[in-house]
Structure 1
Amino acid sequence: MNLTDKFFKEMEDLFLESDKSSFYELREDLMEHIDIQLSEGKNEQEVIHSLGTPKEIVDDFYEDQRLHTALTAEKDVVPIEKVKKAYKDEKKGKRKTFFARIKQLIGSISLLFLFIIIILFSIAFIHEALIEHYFALPPLTLAIFFSAIFLLILRIIKKLKHKKMLYLIGTTLILSISSIAYLSITNSWFHNGTFYRNELTIDANQILNLTINTDYHADVMTVPIANDDQARIEIQGYMHSSVIKKITNLKPNSKNINVNLGQRTFFNFFSCPKKNEVILYVPQNEQLDKLELNLKDANLQLTNLTAKTINLNIDQGDIQISNLQATDMDIKSISTDIFMSNYATTLTIDNYSGKSILKNGQGIAKLQTESGLINIQNTSSTDFSIANISGKSVLNDTLLQKLNITNQDGTVVLENQSGNSTLKNESGKLILNNNSGFVEINNDSGALIISQDKNISGTINSHDGIVKWVQLDTVPLDFQLKSTSGRVINEFDRPIDPSTEKVSITTDSGEIRIIQKNNEDGIKDPEASKF
């Protein structure tokens, strides 16, 4: 916008709506003056400056109007009714203009939005026709329906009265609504794909790297076969035509085999294949180099499998693993239920809200969950760690030389664990029963309950959480208790053999209660039955 345009734009904004015609006349006069001055060699800035500011010009205009009204009026004073009417008319005109602009803006945005939707559904239809060789009626129907809405809004905004457009709108609406009704009644909104089955025999000289990817439901399993048989992959299910073509072109003699069973995009949204099945037959004496599964929804069964590396990225479903040996295994999940037994591997599991149940395992492990369940049984490890936010972690009959557990506000149950156990708790609940070795607990405000029938040593530091310890009277411990402002009760407050295992418990304001129990009568303190 040049200086002259900016000058007149500012001036126009100062005029009342009812005086816009006067503004246009004044602008013509001033433009004629400006053209003359410019033709005489003066520059634009100098000419505009000589006219004065837009406000000064508008003020002069209305001053002249008021003077003219006063000179020509039959009375000396303009009637108040006329002033009020002029004011109301001015306000009404401004509101009408404002709402007209808002209506125009909303209409334009709606048209743009509908146009984008029409283009996307049209591309989806073309994609299905050219790539998947399928006449996709759902996206075509929706493209026609939104086209009718587009034309209807355009007709309202532009006030188009052509009968041909009205006929076109009516025809497209009838066609699309009829098609929508047909798709809904016949439940035909989604295409289930084409059934396909294939078996790939793997070269006996290859150490297999297998990757499977899909956004659709899949069942994947491994089956051990005789040592003199060749490894093979069996694939079957309902799939996209493009997926079938890629699988058909797979080279079984390749070391790296990537099986892609289909990815979900907007353009194939209306294609929803039924579940697929992949079976991997592996000779018992062979070891996979790498197995990687990237699945959205799956049921996975891995049995009698040996591999160097296993990576499982599964959003939801079930994972069942037994008799597995691997150098490294990494599992990432949102809500998958994981069941592992008889395994030996270095294991990492990040399962947001699903179950992680491990039995009879060996190897270093790192597990974490947001709100799921972790259950560890009959497991041995040199280094085992658990990070629990608000879920539940239960460990039974474990031999973990080094155990680290962090717990925010969930629940941790530790029973019959042998080794050095370190627990850090914020506001959750810790329950320990008959553990051995050394235990170190740092507790903020959570509840801590310990029951022991055997020796153990350790240190407990708590801010304001309650610490309750129930100890068998025939297996006394040397309790060293200290609380800054909390209550301390110790039923073992008697001379203890210097060689007795020591347990140090310190709190800031939390209560410490050491309760004695015996084999015959159980807990002596009736209050101890509360926990």
Structure 2
Amino acid sequence: MNTIDAYLAELKSYFSESNMDVYLELEEDLLEEIQNSMAEGETEEEAVRKLSSPAEIASDFFADRRFETAQSAVGDLVPEDDVAEVFKEARRKRLTRSVQKGILISKKALIMILLALDVFLVTYIGQELYFEGNLARIPLIMCLFSLVILVNVNQLRRKLTQRRRFFVMSLCGLLGAVFLIEGLVNHHLFYQGISHFQEITADGTENLSFSLDSDAVIEITTSEVGPNEAFRVLFDGNFKKQDIQAIAKNNGQKQMNLRVDKKSLFNLFTRTKESEIILLIPKGTKLNEFNLDLLKGDLRLLHMAVKTLSLDLVEGDVFSKGIQADDVRLTSQKGDVVIEGSQLNGRLKNREGKTILTDLAGDLAITGDHGHTIIKEFISSESDVRTVDGKITMEDSQVAKLTTFSESGQNVVARTTGELNLASARGKIVSESNQGKLSTKNDSGVTIVIDTEGMPGEVVSESGFIKWIHDTGHPAQFSVSSQGGDIRNELTNLAGASGPLVSIHSVSGDVRVIEKVN
């Protein structure tokens, strides 16, 4: 019988069958304490010698039991000082055991986390070696350092002596440091893919589609080529081996559908360099679909005809010229969008960047949440432009029916013809030298109308300030009212029976109607 077994056998002899559950709890705690001592390099005899004797432990237990009996028994004659001392000692031991159990549970939880992490890291390393032929350095370094922590925390009894444990930890730590320094010096910590150039060609020029979904940094350009040439796509940059194989599979296809460098759990430490994709489109060819879903990159789309154009860009700029799209869906998170000389129908949304549209035709719903939307020389039958706290500027355009709205930004429409409906909650509305019919509604912001053409208008406000500046060369009929604000109308005598009706009403804001002075 070894030292531990003899110790536990003696302790067990002090307990009856009715108290055997208490003995088993004590046995578990004592074994844990012995294992910790042995993991720190002590022998079995030394670890057992540090413990209180079996008789003392049993005596403490029965002292606790007597204390509980003394508390509940009527007429117990145990002195009060002895009872208090026994209570304090019992509470101290219970607290010590609770702390030890908490440490044990925390260690076990940490071991489970480290084991799960190592399984993931080893799987990651294996996948990258198999599919890419690359040693994933960051997962390898993390795996080595986690092994150092795991060996230190998981102090296995008898299976790993202190000297061997120190050797394993030192070896793993040294290897981790070596791979870390090597990766930093050679810039190989992150996998950067393979430098590669590839060209794929479509089979014919009818029913062509191109779709790209990527989280890499990619610059995309479209260019028009001769009508007798084939539709081609050129790839130049750094790509993963799997992506290169996927690109090659699209060669000769009419519908090219590509996923390049998409982020996943087993792609967390890949940082490919910026790549370039060039689409060579034969003149007169109209694509069925052109879809881009990009995390970061710049787009330069020139002279392209497409039925459905879908662009979703998180970060980067878009420049387009000579685009014809029956249905466009463009979304940009951070970046500028510039479109010139194009014909588009659909939706444009730019959350934070600047949107500049010039010489465009089509019906569009345009949203610029926080940036500046500039529209010039725009021809449309019906369009809607909105912003949250940005600015809308439309000039020199013809829109049969235009609707603009801003929460707290600015709406500025100048030299535009059509039915103009300008609205704002708290922002500023400016209408200058427009023709057609004007309708504005502003809850609490400022509304300024500069009328040089004699257009009919209806201006409504809750509490905002209204100013109408009128060219007296054009007669008009003014109907001005404000329930709670101040009214100053300099043109009360200007009204002519043949002039257009201008209705200005505010609930509580001030109103000014003044003559425009050149």
Contact kept in structure 2, 1:312 and 1:331, CA below 8 Å = yes
Deviations 1:416-458 (A, max 9, x none): 1211111221112222221221121221111222222221212
Shift of residue 296, structure 1, vs aligned partner: 1.1
SS of corresponding position for 1:188: coil
Supply the AA of the counterpart residue of 1:62.
T
Find the residue that maps to 1:204 and give its secondary structure: coil
Q: Cα distance, 1:346 vs. partner? A: 0.5
Match of 1:62 in 2: 69
Q: Determine the C-alpha separation between the residues in 2 that align with 1:243 and 1:474.
A: 69
Supply the AA of the counterpart residue of 1:207. Answer: N
Q: 1:233 Cα deviation (Å)?
A: 1.6
Correspondence for 2:377:
378
**Alpha carbons of 1:409 and 1:106: their partners in 2 closer, same or farther (altered >3 Å)?**
farther
Instruction: Give the 3 Å change call, closer, same or farther, for CA 487–128 of structure 1 in structure 2.
Output: same
Amino acid at match of 1:139: P
- Structure 1 segment 1-400 matched on structure 2, within 5 A: 26-27=18-19, 62=69, 66=73, 70=77, 77-79=79-81, 82-155=82-155, 162-252=162-252, 254-400=253-399
The CA deviation at 1:158 is: 12
Q: How far, CA to CA, are the matches of 2:288 and 2:308 in structure 1?
A: 6
Deviations 1:261-309 (A, max 9, x none): 3212231222211122111111212111111111111211111111111
Structure 1 position 174, deviation (Å): 2.0
Post-superposition offset of 1:509: 1.0
| Conserved? CA contact 2:370–2:389, under 8 Å | yes
Secondary structure at the aligned position of 2:423 is classed as strand
Conserved in 2, the CA contact under 8 Å of 1:335 and 1:355?
Answer: no
Residue type at the aligned position of 1:164 = R
Aligned to 1:47: none
Provide, for residues 206-239 of structure 1, a one-character-per-residue CA deviation record: whole Å limited to 9, x for no partner: 3211112211011111111112222222222110
Superposed counterparts of 1:443-522, under 5 Å: 443-519=442-518
CA contact (8 A) 2:308 2:328 kept: yes
Q: Which moved more, 1:87-96 or 1:502-511?
A: 87-96
CA deviations 1:1-25 (Å, max 9, x no partner) are: xxxxxxxxxxxxxxxxxxxx99986
> How far off is 1:26 after superposition?
4.3
Supply the AA of the counterpart residue of 1:196. H
1:401-416 to 2 correspondence within 5 Å?
401-416=400-415
Counterpart code for 2:130: L
Aligned partner of 2:6 in structure 1 is none
Q: Distance in 2 between matches of 1:212 and 1:516?
A: 57
Question: Partner of 2:216: helix, strand, or coil?
Answer: coil
Q: Which amino acid counterpart does residue 256 of structure 1 have in structure 2?
A: Q
Which moved further from structure 2: 357-366 or 423-432? 423-432
| Alpha-carbon separation, structure 2, partners of 1:198 and 1:232 | 11
Q: 2:136, 2:178 → 1: CA distance?
A: 16
Change (3 A) 1:127 1:159: closer
Partner amino acid, structure 2, of 1:302: L
In structure 2, stretches of 5+ residues that fail to align are 1-12, 23-64
Q: Is the 8 A contact 2:478 2:495 kept in 1?
A: no
For residue 449 of structure 1, give the secondary structure of its aligned residue in structure 2: strand
| Change in CA separation of 1:137 and 1:382 when aligned onto 2, cut-off 3 Å | same
The one-letter amino acid paired with 2:495 is I
CA contact (8 A) 2:200 2:248 kept: no
* Residues 94, 475 of structure 1: alpha-carbon distance in 2 compared, 3 angstrom cutoff: farther
Distance across 1 between alignment mates of 2:102 and 2:159: 16
- Amino acid corresponding to residue 80 of structure 2 in structure 1: V
Query: What displacement does 1:27 show?
Result: 4.7
What is the CA-CA distance between 1:179 and the residue it aligns to?
2.1
Aligned-partner Cα distance in 1 for 2:396–2:211: 36
Q: Counterparts of 1:266 and 1:130 in 2: how far apart (Å)? A: 16
Show structure 1 runs of 5+ residues with no match.
1-20, 31-57, 520-531
> 1: CA distance between counterparts of 2:347 and 2:150?
53
Identity %: 22
**Conserved 8 A contact 1:104-1:157:** no
More deviation in 474-483 or 393-402?
A: 474-483
> Following the alignment from structure 1 to structure 2, what is the Cα–Cα distance between the partners of residues 398 and 62?
97
Change (3 A) 1:424 1:84: farther
**Cα distance between partner residues in 2 of 1:24 and 1:348:** 83
TM-score normalised to the size of structure 2? 0.83
Structure 1 distance, partners of 2:72, 2:485, is 88
In structure 2, give the amino acid aligned to 1:268. N
Q: Is the 8 A contact 2:231 2:282 kept in 1?
A: yes
CA deviations on 1:460-514 (whole Å, 9 max, x unpaired) are: 2211111122222333432211111111111112251112121211111111112
The one-letter code of the counterpart of 2:429 is: L
CA distance in 1, matches of 2:20, 2:100: 27
Distance of 1:382 and 1:294 partners within structure 2: 30
Count of matched residue positions in the alignment of Structure 1 and Structure 2:
464
Report deviation, 1:146.
Answer: 1.2
Contact 1:420 1:439 in 2 (8 A): yes
Offset at 1:338? 0.9
1:45 corresponds to which residue?
none
When normalised by structure 1's length, the TM-score is 0.81
Alpha-carbon distance between aligned partners in 2 of 1:135 and 1:297, rounded to the nearest angstrom? 26
2: CA distance between counterparts of 1:106 and 1:406? Answer: 57
Alpha-carbon distance in 2 for matches of 1:282, 1:425: 43
Cα shift at 1:175 = 1.7
273-282 or 105-114, which deviates more: 105-114
The whole-number CA distance in structure 1 between the counterparts of 2:15 and 2:497 is 106
Alpha-carbon distance in structure 2 between the residues aligned to 1:461 and 1:159: 85
Q: CA deviation at 1:59?
A: 12
